[in-house]
Structure 1
């Protein structure tokens, strides 16, 4: 396990395909939180109760594809997030009626993104409650996006995908991928701007 800890994801996947279960365990532990968070945010509140099932489906697909995995310039993480995206979109197309009321972000990092995107100054420590509320508002804004735009935003934000990578992963023309991301960012800015306006107001 210690030797696996520093191994690249791609090497771990190839080792797992060759029968090394410890390599798979390392890979799973390394990416469990990120993939689950991505799936949960992509599904949104209406299907949040199904996030665990889609997360498990994602890993089942990864396992099923182990024999055919072959790095071709793309990182394992890119490959895995594409599988997670496809599993989530399959569930969104099917639809569902389960709704979860628990839909907060688990950490402050989305708020760092929000502040930078809106050119807002990060508030002082005593304003932490305000920013937690902003996080809840951001979740609602994300869930209001059409699923294709939400997927583009999350792939870009969660996995750092460029527009070129978005187009490749989603099987879209470059301009279509670019437009989806642009519209998603515009809608998020518009949705959040009124909420964050007091940050720029005089004291």
Structure 2
């Protein structure tokens, strides 16, 4: 594995551009602790949100533990990281995905409906609803009078996500929230391309059915 220091990474990057994740991880593997601190600050909230939504309400008490275990795995595996195989972000989210899925399998998780607001991020989830379920830019800049609608839609979407089979929920979150392509998911999760595409298709069909009244309110067909 090539040795990269954070100073070298900074030199390679422009003065205004942030140091790429891959460079930071290589620098950390070479002993630069500050590089890890930068990675953690950059991805802490995204990884935590992904783990929390993937595990759902039933396992909410285990989210913190899985989140911490994810970073422990990243630290322990730092010497094995290779950007030629996968980007740091793909690599890290795959670790989080696998740990969360292991917990879900061990728990014998039953599908249930839970209406929840996740500490008020219904509006954030409403934006996800617009992108992932509607595939529309309608909610990119909501007016003041629309905020209540999108917040309610977001709370409903979080509940609908909790009803999805684990694999379909994971595929949806990786694509819609984290920007993974089908090809990236197939390679990183070691699952066939068509299998990933099927998970996304069926997951979206179920989400549209679950969100039907909000789609109807927007004049959309599910």
Using the size of structure 1 for normalisation, the TM-score is 0.88
**4+ residue runs over 3 A deviation:** 1-5, 99-102, 107-110, 119-124
Which consecutive unaligned segments of at least 5 residues does structure 1 have?
Answer: none
2:115/2:155 contact within 8 Å kept: no
Aligned length: 200
The alignment status of 1:92 with 2:104, answered yes or no, reads yes
Deviation per residue, 1:118-144 (Å, 9 max, x gap): 258446312312221111100000000
CA RMSD of aligned residues (A): 2.7
What is the CA distance between 1:195 and its match in structure 2?
3.1
The answer to whether structure 1 residue 34 and structure 2 residue 43 are counterparts is no
- Tell me how far apart the structure 1 counterparts of residues 194 and 108 of structure 2 sit (CA, whole Å): 31
- Correspondence for 1:191: 210
Corresponding position: 1:134 with 2:146:
no
Q: Quote the residue 1:58 is aligned against.
A: 70
**SS in structure 1 opposite 2:207?**
helix
Deviations 1:39-62 (A, max 9, x none): 000001101121111000100100
Structure 2 segments unaligned to the other structure (5+ residues)? 1-5, 11-16
Aligned to 1:81: 93
- Note the C-alpha offset of 1:111: 2.0
Residue 28 of structure 2: which of 16, 37, 46 is its match? 16
1:177 aligns with 2:200: no
Contact 1:149 1:183 in 2 (8 A): yes
* Equivalent residues of 2:55, 2:63 under 8 A apart: yes
Three-state SS of the structure 2 residue aligned to 1:110 is: helix
Q: 1:106 aligns with which of 121, 138, 145?
A: 121
Distance 1:105 1:62 in 2: 30
| Displacement after TM superposition at 1:90 (Å) | 1.0
Residues 59, 145 of structure 1: alpha-carbon distance in 2 compared, 3 angstrom cutoff: same
Q: Which has the higher helix share?
A: 1
Distance (Å, rounded) in 1 between the aligned partners of 2:115 and 2:100: 16
